[in-house]
Structure 1
Amino acid sequence: MELSSEARVKLSDDYTERLWEEVERRGGVKEVSQSLGHSRSKMYNWKNKNSFLPIDFVTEIAGDELGDEIKAFKGKSRSNPIRNPSLPLDLSDELLCRIEFSVSINENGTPMYMTNDLGNLRRFQTLLDELGEVPYNIYTRDSRFQLNFPGYLYTLFQEISHGADKTALIDEKGNVNNGEIYVEGTRIAEEDYPNEIYNRKKKLKLALSKEKNEVVREMLSKEAKRAERTLDSVT
């Protein structure tokens, strides 16, 4: 998907230089500000302070074939930028479903992904990391994990329609009971199980009920290695 018209972008140094050369070729800041309807003082600030530039200004001057020239982007506010983005953004149904199911907005307008499972948290991190260097903070609150990410991204996500995703549905909303998976009281047929379940608690509970010893051994081995690394880091 393309960035919204309210995005602010940081271009490569070479492309930034060429952009302002094009502004000069068109008569300079004074002429371009009048012809495009931008504030002259703002344009001088953009140029002199090497600021993030409005995407509509950039495309008006340089066209929309920016390719890899966008090195970071953010919203209009002073939010932290997403650096080295993978553009155009390829947002999966899984990511958008997890956001729909498990993200809420706090009193400061910050999106918060909440989960009580470390597997879910790590999967959400992976999906965000696929978009670029997304700034986020992780907290632990009452045995729950909270991941805060930029509000601009959340606004962008809300503009996109998406399909269903079995993995996100079961990870975020499912529960395991007597060896069966249920979502909001409805039993999920085994042939409809996703290829991967990232929720560690549900995956382990399902494996134990199905006597899938190889899955249990693999998960316990991973937990032992994580515990060993944790001990090494504090000794």
Structure 2
Amino acid sequence: MALDRGGATPLWRQLQRELLARMDAGEFADRFPGELALVEHYGVSRHTVRQALSGLRADGVVVAERGRRPRVAEPPEIQQPMGALYSLFASVEASGLAQRSVVRTLDLRADAVVADRLDLEGSTPLLYLERLRLAGGEPLALDRVWLPAAVAAPLLAADFTHTSLYAELHARTGIRLDHGHEDVRAVVPTAAERSRLNCPPTAAAFSIDRLSHADGRPVEWRHTLVRGDRFALTADFSAHAGYQLTGSARP
């Protein structure tokens, strides 16, 4: 495509749209052209090319690392609609990837901070489950869950290497979570977290805090650290109704 040098749209914007169109058509899957190649192909300045690529990098469409050729960013393997009480187990299964967990800890303990979040006395025994979640054989998330031991103690007998916590909770206790609240933040994993998750050096992560309720009482406090390069949160929206957070269940 020839760029319109006499038009009102800046050349860098035209080039950006042209590159996006070519990517949508399936080009650049194996190799994304470097700056000099784009300069020569489109007959524009290097400054114009850099402006176009800067926007693509900011939008996460193109990944550019120091000393390496730019490349098209891979789409996340797992996409989770926001607004539904979802299970990470179900999300991974729905993506077609094999789901497995490495159970790091499953025991009873006291945690005054978490107990307070669950509206319990600080010394109340809690069931604690910590897992490394795998999708397709590769680390996806570090998952830590606390539940009141008075209702969740039967889960001590469960094998969580390939099962859903929510399914086991319902099967063994009759409790089905019905609503909750989540806070999601983008974070830079610590060195230890990056090692456990096998994160690329430039990958960020989602830090997700969840408080879930059943029959009007808090039952679960969960903190999940999910690799940002493998997981995405999605939502539908419109100009009139705003965000429609009604996605079906797919951590």
Pick 1 or 2: higher relative contact order, CA cutoff 8 A, min separation 6.
Answer: 2
| Structure 1 length-normalised TM | 0.21
**Higher normalized helix content (fraction of residues):** 1
**Higher normalized strand content (fraction of residues):** 2
| Structure 2 length-normalised TM | 0.20
